[in-house]
Amino acid sequence: MSSLLFVTSSILGQNSKSRELADELVAKWRSAHPGAQVVTRELTVDNAPHLSLETIGALGKPTQDRTTDEQARVDYADGIIAQVEAAVTIVIAAPMYNFSIPSALKAWIDHLARAGRTFRYTETGPVGLLTNKKVYVVSARGGIHAGQPSDFVEPYLRVVLGFLGLTDVKFVNAEGLAMGAEPAAKGLAAARTAIAELSSIAKAA
Ligand SMILES: Cc1cc2nc3c(=O)[nH]c(=O)nc-3n(C[C@H](O)[C@H](O)[C@H](O)COP(=O)(O)O)c2cc1C
């Protein structure tokens, strides 16, 4: 059965625009996949931890040698990978903060990228192991950045997700949200039109 993983990373709670728009995208997906499972990971609610020396050390130890704290770190990292592996569709709400992604989303990616599990190195270069999944990224921005050197959200996410094998990635950018009422309304309307036109959501998977 199809399943969708919904990852949120805004620090603005109920006022999050990336969350609001991504909710609409998920609702569209749900109506195209009745009964399918949706799993939500809210990274700011999680208080997503940074990847640390302790976690890397714990991952390198045999299970029986880990302390309770080390096992909890491994369980958290394994849980992030397992959720992505289990999903056929992934929706990421990725606001722009200081030209890039929120630190909680970066921490999620740092836990997801694991050599030998989600990617591997070969003689011909790295190979991503998270294949055959569709990814939708909804990115709210105060200004206008798409296609500009100031956009470190879309180019970064395309590279790092592609490195992990997630190459089918569609972006919906809601821009100009801090530029006044009219530009904000225009930015939100454009994003809603883009979501409505995402025909791939309706197809199987
Ligand atoms: C901490 C912080 C940093 C921000 N940095 C930028 C920025 O660099 N460029 C920009 O255009 N907007 C910036 N904004 C505006 C946000 O992109 C905008 O509020 C957007 O709606 C955030 O998505 P969210 O509502 O889902 O959190 C920033 C907002 C916050 C709270």
Q: Which amino acid is at 131?
A: T
> For 91-116, what is each residue's pLDDT tens digit?
999 999 999 999 999 999 999 999 99
Q: How far is the CA of 175 from the centre of ligand 1 (A)?
A: 10
Protein residue with least CA distance to atom 31, ligand 1: 97
In sequence order, the β-bridge partners of residue 7 are 41, 92
Ligand 1 pocket, residue 146 CB under 6 Å = no
Domain ranges in the chain are 3-202
CA distances from 23 to 10, 20, 37, 67, 168 (A): 13, 5, 15, 39, 20
Residue nearest atom 24 in ligand 1 by C-alpha distance = 16
Of 3.40.720.10, 3.40.50.620, 3.40.50.360, 3.30.360.10, the CATH number of 3-202 is 3.40.50.360
pLDDT digits (tens, 9 = 90+) for 160-172: 999 999 999 999 9
The pTM assigned to this predicted structure is 0.96
pLDDT of residue 203: 57
**Could you tell me what percentage of the chain is helix, strand and coil, using 3-state DSSP and rounding each to the nearest 5?**
45, 20, 35
Name the band, by pLDDT with cuts 50, 70 and 90, for residue 204: very low
- CA 183-147-180 angle, to 5 degrees, is 15
| Chain segment 51-70, per-residue pLDDT in tens | 999 999 999 999 999 999 99
Percent of the chain with pLDDT over 70: 98
Q: How far is the CA of 10 from the centre of ligand 1 (A)?
A: 9
Cβ burial, residue 198 (10 Å; 0-12/13-18/19+): middle
Distance CA 145, CA 187 (A): 12
pLDDT in tens, 117-154: 999 999 999 999 999 999 999 999 999 999 999 999 99
Best of 139, 141, 179 to mutate for ligand 1, by most ligand atoms within 8 A of CB? 141
